[in-house]
Amino acid sequence: MNENNTDSGQATTTYQNAGTIFKSFFEDIGNVVVGQNRVVEQIVIAILCEGHALVESNPGLGKTLMISTVSKAMNLKFSRIQCTPDLMPSDITGTNVIEEQDNKKEFRFQPGPVFANVVLADEINRASPKTQSALLEAMQEKQVTVGNDTFMLDRPFFILATQNPIEMEGTYPLPEAQLDRFLLKILVDYPSHEEEMEIINRYTKSEVPKVSRGLDKSTLLDLQKLTRQVPISEELKQRVLSIVGMTRKDKEHIEYGASPRASIGLILAAKARALIEGRNFVSKEDVDYMAYPVLRHRLILTFEAERSGMTPDQAIEEIIRKLK
């Protein structure tokens, strides 16, 4: 990595201290979140890539706690939107309100919860399609348009959405076009026996664990720039294109494959993982590891594959196995 490409001396210092920064950061999160290292790492990867993440798990596995803890550890403004069928777009973006001043009435924009650095859209599949689409402009353009006015969102800006896969009655599954806006789909599994015992020990005491340290915003912005500067070989770029291309060619298992946005996302995610791992180059393992969260929500399996019980992860695994 060429340190001279960074915009400031502070960015160079951030690069030199990146290993220490991430070690301290993950230790701090570990004081609150027990286990789930892979999930936390992937949330941070999405943030480093300036992307958004969809987090899916059964109820009670700490999705909200993980996301709010990461935002606190990064010293970022955090807001939470509880999605419900009656939630309106203006409840998210904000609206113009009438304000009386000096005997004159005028409209003033009242910002909604989307005006934060980290926005948790809890159970996003419970919101109506009209409300879900209100997030599209914010996710892609980092701005909100209300009436004739456009308001820029503060950087960094991330939407981390959650959904529950087992309570589907009365929900609105996200359309493929909106799913493609999420860089990663992260799956949260049950903790091990030892981890669940630690959860019990921590959260049945009088004092609840808290985050003690945090990154400053400028350091995070520098880390985002450094992520894009991590070198990747032409050979690995070709591997990324081969993986994504095979999702479009495997008509036996996959009806619709991934878009070019997946190719971009996979390279960026692999770069972010290499930076977190303390390497100044992308490895083949980075690409293969990140293929699952980058691609699993971008594939539509054929009816026959779904009927046989195949999952998107199994389809991705089969593609990677063929390329080895």
Q: How far apart are the C-alpha atoms of 208 and 31, rounded to whole Å?
A: 10
The predicted model gives 21-45 an average pLDDT of 84
pLDDT tens across 47-85, in order?
Answer: 999 889 998 887 777 788 888 888 888 888 888 998 888
User: Is it the case that residue 3 has pLDDT exceeding 50?
Assistant: no
Q: Model's pTM, two decimal places?
A: 0.85
Which of 278, 282, 272 lies closest to 240 in space, CA to CA?
282
Residue 111's pLDDT is what? 85
CA angle 264, 277, 218 (to 5 degrees): 75
Q: Residue 121: which region, alpha, beta or left (left: phi > 0; alpha: psi -120 to 50)?
A: beta
- pLDDT-based confidence at residue 5 (cuts at 50, 70, 90): very low
Helix, strand, coil percentages for the chain (3-state, nearest 5): 50, 15, 35
User: Is it the case that residue 271 has pLDDT exceeding 90?
Assistant: yes
pLDDT tens across 86-117, in order?
Answer: 888 888 888 878 877 777 777 778 888 889 88
- pLDDT-based confidence at residue 15 (cuts at 50, 70, 90): low
- Residue located via tokens 């456009």: 150
Question: Could you tell me where the beta strands, DSSP code E, fall in 114-222?
Answer: 118-122, 143-146, 149-152, 158-163, 184-187
The predicted model gives 200-216 an average pLDDT of 76
Structure letter (DSSP) for residue 119: E
Buried/exposed 25-56: b ≥16 CB within 10 Å, e otherwise: bbebbeebbbbbeebbbbbbbbbbbbbbbbbb
Domains in the chain, CATH or no CATH each = 11-229 (3.40.50.300), 230-323 (1.10.8.80)
Residue 183's pLDDT is what? 92
User: Is it the case that residue 242 has pLDDT exceeding 90?
Assistant: yes
Which of 319, 197, 201 lies closest to 258 in space, CA to CA?
319
